[in-house]
């Protein structure tokens, strides 16, 4: 054991040092100490690692939602398909007349809950009640509402059909859609009369083809609709925009929405002008293109 310890001391303490390696020569152009030279090499390497590259996609901001709550005509977009227009008339019906119509319709219309037919899936019931009046049937969401001439339609310059929606409370709703069925003709006029509790009517602009259906950066508009308010959608609104009435998670009373439109046996254009009648009472609406 003493011989091993002695050899370990000899190898650890008295072993000869390795010969020194020759120092690399520094060129006159560098004219720096090895430490500075090595720092310079490191600096060049790290600067290459942190080279700035311009982002491939530009940074985009989500456009703020616009609010329309004052009476007037609004051109909300100009596209190759045409001009999209909204016309808002708050208080189109006086309060007492709106109250009478609301109570009458709520009690006497043949309300029913329609079932939406979905291709390859379940067929859920709509989260609202509806009824349809018109000389022709109306098909949307792959199901048809039969013709019902209890409310007679006019010819010429009158909207000939009426779709009624009853939102029983804030949980009733209608999802994003456009009223662009072929039976409505090109660029239809939709006249929407609100009765009962107020709800928010929302619109969003359809994205261009290169967005692949992504609505993240779509323009959005909300229109609060109160008791007796009239909203007209005209021009290319159904071509270029979608609309909805979303669920609301606080107390809302019942709301009736009457949407007047023209239904045609074959796709064709509409004629300007409309008259709305309520059991002998009449209100005129002038629509110009």
Averaged pLDDT of the chain: 78
- Report the candidate in 68, 62, 113, 66 with the shortest Cα–Cα distance to residue 87: 68
Residue 16 lies in a domain: no
Residue 240 lies in a domain: yes
Residue 5 lies in a domain: no
Q: Is the pLDDT of residue 197 over 70?
A: yes
Q: How many CB atoms are located within 10 Å of the residue 195 CB?
A: 25
What DSSP character marks residue 209? G
Residue 30 lies in a domain: no
183 backbone dihedrals φ, ψ, rounded to 5°: -70, -15
Residue 50 lies in a domain: no
Q: Is the pLDDT of residue 249 over 80?
A: yes
Please tell me the pTM assigned to this model. Answer: 0.69
Residue 23 lies in a domain: no
What is the rounded CA–CA span in Å between residue 268 and residue 260? Answer: 17
pLDDT tens for 58-91 read 788 999 999 999 999 999 999 999 999 999 999 9
Which residues on neighbouring strands pair with residue 138, listed in sequence order?
145
Residue 85, domain extent: 69-285
How many structural domains compose the chain?
Answer: 1
Q: How confident is the model at residue 175 (pLDDT cuts 50, 70, 90)?
A: very high
What average pLDDT does this structure show over 209-224?
96
> 143: domain CATH number?
2.60.120.590
99 — alpha (psi -120 to 50), left (phi > 0) or beta? alpha
25-60 core/surface letters (b: 16 or more CB in 10 A; e: else): eeeeeeeeeeeeeeeeeeeeeeeeeeeeeeeeeeee
Q: Are 287 and 230 in contact (CB under 8 A)?
A: no
Q: Where are the beta strands (DSSP E) in the chain?
A: 66-67, 72-79, 82-89, 129-134, 138-140, 143-145, 161-167, 174-177, 190-196, 199-205, 220-225, 230-235, 241-245, 255-261, 274-278, 281-285
What pLDDT score was predicted for residue 20?
64
- Range name among 80-89, 141-150, 188-197, 249-258 with the lowest pLDDT average: 141-150
What is the rounded CA–CA span in Å between residue 266 and residue 263? Answer: 9
Pair of tokens at residue 185: 């003709």
Pair of tokens at residue 76: 């909300």
Q: Is the pLDDT of residue 148 over 60?
A: no
What is the rounded CA–CA span in Å between residue 239 and residue 186? Answer: 9
Residue 9 lies in a domain: no
């Amino acid at each position: 054991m003493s011989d091993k310890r002695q050899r370990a001391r000899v190898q650890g303490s008295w072993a000869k040092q390795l010969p020194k390696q020759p120092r690399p020569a520094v060129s006159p152009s560098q004219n720096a100490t090895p430490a500075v030279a090595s720092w310079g090499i490191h600096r060049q390497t790290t600067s290459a690692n942190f080279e700035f590259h311009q982002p491939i996609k530009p940074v985009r901001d989500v456009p703020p939602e616009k609010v329309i709550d004052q009476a007037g005509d609004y051109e909300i977009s100009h596209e190759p398909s045409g001009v999209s227009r909204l016309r808002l008339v708050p208080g189109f019906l006086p309060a007492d007349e709106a109250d009478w119509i609301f109570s009458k319709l709520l009690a006497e219309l043949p309300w029913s809950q329609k079932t939406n037919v979905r291709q390859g899936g379940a067929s859920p019931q709509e989260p609202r009640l509806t009824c349809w009046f018109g000389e022709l049937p109306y098909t949307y969401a792959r199901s048809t509402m039969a013709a019902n001439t209890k409310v007679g339609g006019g010819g010429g310059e009158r909207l000939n059909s009426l779709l009624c929606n009853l939102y029983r409370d804030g949980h009733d709703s209608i999802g994003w859609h456009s009223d662009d069925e072929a039976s409505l003709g090109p660029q239809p006029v939709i006249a929407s009369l609100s009765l009962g509790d107020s709800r928010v009517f929302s619109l969003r602009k359809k994205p261009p083809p290169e967005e692949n259906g992504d609505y993240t950066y779509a323009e959005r508009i909300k229109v609060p609709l109160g008791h007796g308010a009239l909203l007209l959608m005209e021009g290319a609104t159904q071509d270029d925009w979608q609309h909805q009435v979303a669920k609301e998670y606080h107390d809302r009373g019942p709301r009736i929405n009457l949407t007047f439109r023209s239904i045609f046996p074959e796709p064709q254009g509409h004629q300007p002008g409309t008259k709305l009648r309520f059991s002998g009472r009449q209100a005129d609406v002038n629509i110009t293109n």
